[in-house]
Amino acid sequence: MAYLNINDVTLSFGGLKALSDVNMKIEPGLITSIIGPNGAGKTSMLNCISGFYHPTQGDIFYKEKELTHASPHQVSNMGIARAFQNLELFSGLSVLDNLLLARHQNLNYSFLHAIFFYGKASRVEAENRAYVEDIIDFMELEPCRKSLVGNLSYGAQKKVEVARALTLAPDILLLDEPMAGMNQGEKEDIVRFVMDIQKERQITVVLVEHDLGVVMDISDRIYVLDFGEVIGSGTPEEIAHNPKVIEAYIGED
C-alpha cells in the first residue's frame, strides 16, 4: 500500500459529479502534482483528502488508516496539512501570531498550568515558539515577522500561508495553487521553497498548479483530471506525450 491511497473516489453534489472513480497513489518523499483544466476537480480532490468534503463513494487511506470520513482537525492530527488557494490568514494579526496560532493543537497543558504559566506550560510555549521561529527562518519571513499580514504584498501573504501549514509539522503538505496571482519573481521564489520543503524537510508534497512549466520542472509524478476523471498519470515525460492530456489542454486538430 502506498503512503496515501485514493481508491475509486466519487464526489457528487446533487446530480453533479465533481469526481468520478478517482484512483491515486501518493508515494512518500515525492512531489506529486494534480493538474487539469478549470473545473476538472483538482480542489475537490484536495478537499476530500483534507476532510472538508467526504466522498460520496470510495475510500481514502493514509498510512493504512482510513480518513475517508475524518474531520479536517483529525486529518491535521494525522500529519496532513494544507495551504489554501484563497488565503486563510488573520489579516489583523502579525505573521508571528498567525503562525503561533496554527500551533494551538500542540499546547497540551492544563488550565492550572496556563493560569500560573509555570512548569509544563512554560516549556511547551517555548518549544512551540522555537518551532515557529525555525519556520520563519526557513521561509525567509524574518523581515516581516512582526508586520500585520494584511499589510503585506499578495506574494508575501502566500508565503505566510505556506508557512502556516508547515508549522503543523506535516508529513504531507497539500498546496492548492500556491503560485496563483504571482509575478514571475514571486513564482520562482515559491518554486524554490516547494523544492526545499521536499528535499530539506523531507515532506511529501501534493501540488495543484496551473503553471504547466513549473509542474513539469519539479514534479516526480503527475495526475491529470478532466471533468472529474483521471485521464492520465505518470512522469512529466509520460504526461507530455499522453494523447488524452494533449487533447484536454489543446483540443483536437
Q: Report if residue 165 sits inside a domain.
A: no
Whether residues 74 and 174 fall in one domain: yes
Whether residues 178 and 59 fall in one domain: yes
Q: Report if residue 229 sits inside a domain.
A: yes
Host domain of residue 109: 92-154
Whether residues 13 and 75 fall in one domain: yes
Q: Report if residue 215 sits inside a domain.
A: yes
SS3 113: helix
Let me know: does 179 contact 172? Beta carbons within 8 Å. Answer: no
Whether residues 186 and 246 fall in one domain: yes
Q: What would the mean pLDDT of 12-28 be, rounded to a whole number?
A: 93
Q: Report if residue 17 sits inside a domain.
A: yes
Domain end residue (candidates: 103, 126, 154): 154
Domain end residue (candidates: 154, 180, 198): 154
Whether residues 145 and 204 fall in one domain: no
pLDDT band at 112 (very low <50, low <70, confident <90, very high): very low
* pLDDT tens digit sequence for 225-248: 999 999 999 999 999 999 988 887
Q: Report if residue 188 sits inside a domain.
A: yes
Q: What would the mean pLDDT of 128-150 be, rounded to a whole number?
A: 92
pLDDT band at 108 (very low <50, low <70, confident <90, very high): low
Whether residues 175 and 65 fall in one domain: yes
**DSSP structure class, residue 105:** G
pLDDT band at 253 (very low <50, low <70, confident <90, very high): very low
Whether residues 103 and 74 fall in one domain: no
Whether residues 96 and 216 fall in one domain: no
Distance, in Å, from the CA atom of 84 to the CA atom of 72, rounded to the nearest integer, reads 13
The count of C-alpha atoms lying within 13 angstroms of the C-alpha of 176, restricted to the half-sphere facing its C-beta, is: 20
Q: Report if residue 159 sits inside a domain.
A: no
Q: What does pTM read for this prediction? A: 0.88
Whether residues 200 and 137 fall in one domain: no
Q: Report if residue 230 sits inside a domain.
A: yes
C-alpha cell at position 148: 500585520
Whether residues 177 and 245 fall in one domain: yes
Domain count of the chain? 2
Higher pLDDT, 196 or 119: 196
Domain end residue (candidates: 154, 183, 204): 154
Q: Report if residue 85 sits inside a domain.
A: no
Distance, in Å, from the CA atom of 232 to the CA atom of 204, rounded to the nearest integer, reads 21
Closest CA to 19 of 44, 46, 36, 38: 44
Distance, in Å, from the CA atom of 183 to the CA atom of 190, rounded to the nearest integer, reads 11
The rounded mean pLDDT for the chain is 88
Closest CA to 157 of 84, 102, 87: 87
Q: What is the CATH number of the domain that holds 18?
A: 3.40.50.300
Whether residues 63 and 113 fall in one domain: no
Whether residues 144 and 45 fall in one domain: no
pLDDT band at 121 (very low <50, low <70, confident <90, very high): low
Q: What would the mean pLDDT of 170-183 be, rounded to a whole number?
A: 91
Q: Quote the radius of gyration of the chain (alpha carbons, Å).
A: 19
